[in-house]
Amino acid sequence: MKDKFFKYIHELQDTISSKLEAVDGKAKFQEDIWKRPEGGGGRTRVIENGNVFEKGGVNISGVHGKLPDSMQKYFGVEDADFFACGLSLVLHPKNPMIPTVHANWRYFEMYDKDGNIVDQWFGGGQDLTPYYLFDEDAKHFHQTCKIACDKHNTEFYPKYKARCDEYFYNAHRNEGRGLGGLFFDYCKSSEDMSMQNWYDFVTEVGDSFLEAYVPIVEKRKTLEYTKPQRDWQEIRRGRYVEFNLVHDKGTLFGLKTNGRIESILMSLPPHVQWVYDHHPEKGSEEERLIKVLQEPKNWI
């Protein structure tokens, strides 16, 4: 399973990065191949200063070795080895009318001291973080997520949509990071779903990503915007940074397992503001966004 999924994310990285370069029309991904001293490595691809994308990354990694003590305590195990692989992407467009997007699809195995698999699971998801709210974009993104889920189980979309709203939540701000999407974790073999079934589901969601996001980019990339709208985008990006550094499990796992720091923190935007005690104008589009972020909506 680990070899099959690792091959899949290699191919998906190629598909996604090629399409994003075509959408941008100017910038190309810079690629870095890196190795982790304890075992494994990855292929980092970063795009910067394009026509559309100010900064973004589409990264894959496959790492293995002894599970660090802090992670052994977290999982409640002793003397465990692990293998983890996944694709993680974040795109920060230049135009504030285009939302930021994040996606991740991953697979994890844990072994005893004799090398036997003692646990394995899939996880992942994708979520949308707009700066200006176009309801039709939110509906399109969520509809695409639902179609992918419904092919496998009609209970998946409502369940994983709710988990996404719960997970991508800045508790210290009492607001969601964005409009959500899907979030699933610890997807393990059961009577209803084999690991092959989970593989089929996760790859279905991965394959749906470009359809979920690219039409939104194409629709919004030529819209005009003002300096105050750009400032608002940078203030909201600050919330994105706060979530990644305070709450995000993937960031924390990477930092605790001696991951490659440049790859882990590629999700941070290049231009960002933290304005003291900032509140949007009453009745403005900015305030409308905040109200939606404070109370998740069912978009479809």
Q: What are 269's strand-pairing partners?
A: none
**Active site annotation includes 102:** yes
The torsion angle over the Cα atoms of residues 111, 119, 70 and 127, rounded to 10 degrees, is: 130
Distance CA 44, CA 36 (A): 13
Cα 148 to chain centroid distance, Å, stands at 17
Long-range contacts of 33-38 (CB under 8 A, 24+ apart): 34/260, 34/263, 36/63, 36/65, 36/258, 36/259, 36/260, 37/258, 38/63, 38/65, 38/66, 38/257, 38/258
76: left (phi over 0), alpha (psi -120 to 50) or beta: left
Q: 């960031």: which residue's tokens? A: 251
Catalytic residue among 10, 64, 92, 102: 102
- Strand 100-111 relative to strand 81-93: parallel, antiparallel, unpaired? antiparallel
Please return the burial class of 59, using the count of CB atoms within 10 Å of its CB with bins 0-12, 13-18 and 19+: buried
Secondary structure class of 141 (helix, strand, coil): helix
- Residues carrying an active site annotation: 102
